[in-house]
Structure 1
Amino acid sequence: MVLPEGFTVPPWQLLVPLVVVLVGVVALLWAIGPPVTDRTVLAFAPWMMFGSTLHVLHRLEAYPDSIAVLFSTPSVYLVTALVAGIVWLIGIFLHAGGLLSTIERVVGVVGTGFFVTFATITIMVRWEEGVFEPFWPVIAVVVTGIVTALAWIALSLWFTDVAAVTGTTGALVVFGHALDGVSTAIGYDLLGAGEEVPLSRMILEAGSSLPTAEYIGGGWLFVVVKVALALAIVGLFKEYVEDAPRQARLLLALIAAVGLGPGTHNVLLFLVT
């Protein structure tokens, strides 16, 4: 089995309009060709987390049955990308009209607003039921910060040019995948959570089969693999960022989302379950 558990394709009457509009937005963005810098990628980080809140609400069965499937995997990614793309277009037009000094400002502010709003709704849904567990989410974020700092310092010392060229975008890739790794490890070793992605489950099981599992659990191997893979990808993208910074940073942003999205999803689930 390759696909994660819970992978559901929406019915055609929902999927087709969603895909058509999304393709239109992407085509328009491609034609306009807005600049993509470190600030652009950073502005989209809240959107990566926003998509996770939508999916957590789906797991809490907070949506009407008629549209709930839109917020399952993988359609929740399409919905998030569509809304983010529309906001990006609005920012581009407002900037072109002289109403905004930067495009990134509206993208980042709106994305942050959406994430905070829906994260608050997620917490309140469970708060009313007496469920709120902040200890392990805080630990996950703190440990992720430490792991990311150590990894980025090591990269900066041994491969200074890679860290300098990829900049904030590269650091976000490492942070996102570190958060996914750390939160998954905590859930697997300490909270009895399962893993939906088959490949990730294989790595966790491999870690649990090592002699060290008795003392430090098996999740540490998953953290090491995720961080090492993120650093390797950032290193491989150095020349690409130099030659085609717009395309390279867009791809790195997608790679960061693959880590930051699931990581935020884990942290929110720990908070409300």
Structure 2
Amino acid sequence: MVLPEGFALPPWYLLVPLLVVLGGTLALLWALEPPVTDRTVISFAPWMMFGSTLQVLYRLEAFPDSIAVLFTAPSVYLVTAIVAGLVWVVGIFLQAGGLQPTIERVVGVAGTGFFVVFAMFIVLSGWNAGSFSPFWPVIAVVVAGIVTALAWVALGLWFTDVAATTGATGALVVFGQTIDGVSTAVGYAVLGSSEEVPLSRAILEVGKSLPTAEYIGAGWLFVLVKVVLALVVLGLFKEYVEEEPRQARTILGLLAAIGLGPGVHNTLLFLVT
């Protein structure tokens, strides 16, 4: 079993329109050919986190049953991509018309607004239910920031060209994978949560079987694997970024989302459950 538990496709009458709208959005973006730079990838970071808020609200049963399946994996990724893609299109036209100085400002501000509003719904839900508990989520974010900084400094010292070439996009990839690893480790070792992805669960179980688990917990191996894989990917992408920066940064942005999305999801879920 490779897919995470709870992975479910929506019924065809929801899936087909979703795919059609997504295909149309991607086709429009393909025709417009917007630039993809470090700033572009960073501007989409709030959208990666916004998708996490939708999935947490699904777990809190905040959506009507008739459409709830749209806000769990994998549909929530498609919904988020559609909304973010349409905002990207709007930003392109606003910038072309001289109404906004940059496309990234439109994308980033809109994404931040969406994330903050929906995150507040989650916080208020936990507060009203008496389950609001910020200690370990805050610890996870702080530790992830420290580990990311150390990993990025190490990359800059020993592989300066990789860090310089991948830039802010590379840093986001590292942070995304790190926050996913740290939040998963905290949930598994401290909060007693289970891991839904079979491969991740296997790594956590290996860490639990090691003698070090008694002293530094079972999740350190999982964090190490996530960070090392992120750095290796950046090394492999160095030449690709130099030769095809638009395509390479787009793929790296997706890799960042694969880590940042689940990591923020874990953090928000632990905040209110």
What residue in structure 1 maps to residue 12 of structure 2?
Answer: 12
Tell me if the contact between 2:126 and 2:271 (Cα under 8 Å) persists in the aligned partners. no
Cα deviation, 1:229-259, whole Å, max 9, x if unaligned, reads 0000011100000000000000000000000
What residue in structure 1 maps to residue 89 of structure 2?
Answer: 89
What residue in structure 1 maps to residue 25 of structure 2?
Answer: 25
Distance 2:129 2:214 in 1: 35
Look up the equivalent residue of 1:148 and give its one-letter code.
T
Secondary structure class of the residue paired with 1:61: coil
Secondary structure class of the residue paired with 2:65: coil
Distance 1:155 1:50 in 2: 29
Q: What is the CA-CA distance between 1:149 and the residue it aligns to?
A: 0.3
Look up the equivalent residue of 1:153 and give its one-letter code.
V
Distance 1:78 1:174 in 2: 23
Pick which of 212-221 and 40-49 moved more. 212-221
Distance 1:129 1:199 in 2: 33
Q: What is the CA-CA distance between 1:180 and the residue it aligns to?
A: 0.3
The number of equivalent residue pairs is 273
What residue in structure 1 maps to residue 241 of structure 2?
Answer: 241
Cα deviation, 1:51-98, whole Å, max 9, x if unaligned, reads 000000000000000100000110000000000000000000111111
What residue in structure 1 maps to residue 50 of structure 2?
Answer: 50
Matches within 5 A, 1:7-156: 7-156=7-156
Q: What is the CA-CA distance between 1:27 and the residue it aligns to?
A: 0.8
Distance 2:2 2:242 in 1: 34
Tell me if the contact between 2:162 and 2:235 (Cα under 8 Å) persists in the aligned partners. yes
Would you identify which runs of 4 or more consecutive aligned residues in structure 1 move more than 2 Å? none
Distance 1:155 1:215 in 2: 28
Q: What is the CA-CA distance between 1:222 and the residue it aligns to?
A: 0.1
What residue in structure 1 maps to residue 272 of structure 2?
Answer: 272
Distance 1:124 1:21 in 2: 32
Q: What is the CA-CA distance between 1:189 and the residue it aligns to?
A: 0.5
Secondary structure class of the residue paired with 1:18: helix
Q: What is the CA-CA distance between 1:209 and the residue it aligns to?
A: 0.7
What residue in structure 2 maps to residue 262 of structure 1?
Answer: 262
Distance 1:211 1:81 in 2: 43
Look up the equivalent residue of 2:204 and give its one-letter code.
L
What residue in structure 1 maps to residue 187 of structure 2?
Answer: 187
Q: What is the CA-CA distance between 1:131 and the residue it aligns to?
A: 1.4
Distance 1:46 1:202 in 2: 30
Look up the equivalent residue of 2:28 and give its one-letter code.
L
What residue in structure 2 maps to residue 171 of structure 1?
Answer: 171
Q: What is the CA-CA distance between 1:217 and the residue it aligns to?
A: 1.5
Q: What is the CA-CA distance between 1:28 and the residue it aligns to?
A: 0.8
Q: What is the CA-CA distance between 1:32 and the residue it aligns to?
A: 1.0
Q: What is the CA-CA distance between 1:129 and the residue it aligns to?
A: 1.1
Distance 2:246 2:50 in 1: 23
Distance 1:155 1:217 in 2: 26
Distance 1:185 1:229 in 2: 16
TM-score (norm 1): 0.99
Tell me if the contact between 2:43 and 2:105 (Cα under 8 Å) persists in the aligned partners. yes
Distance 2:86 2:230 in 1: 29
Q: What is the CA-CA distance between 1:127 and the residue it aligns to?
A: 1.1
Distance 1:159 1:129 in 2: 48
TM-score (norm 2): 0.99
Once the two structures are aligned, what percentage of the paired residues are identical? 75
Look up the equivalent residue of 1:116 and give its one-letter code.
V
Tell me if the contact between 2:53 and 2:265 (Cα under 8 Å) persists in the aligned partners. yes
Cα deviation, 1:192-234, whole Å, max 9, x if unaligned, reads 0100000000000010011111111110000000000000001
Q: What is the CA-CA distance between 1:2 and the residue it aligns to?
A: 1.0
Distance 1:93 1:147 in 2: 39
Identify unmatched segments of 5+ residues in structure 2: none
Cα deviation, 1:109-153, whole Å, max 9, x if unaligned, reads 000000000000011112111111000011001000100000000
Look up the equivalent residue of 1:189 and give its one-letter code.
A
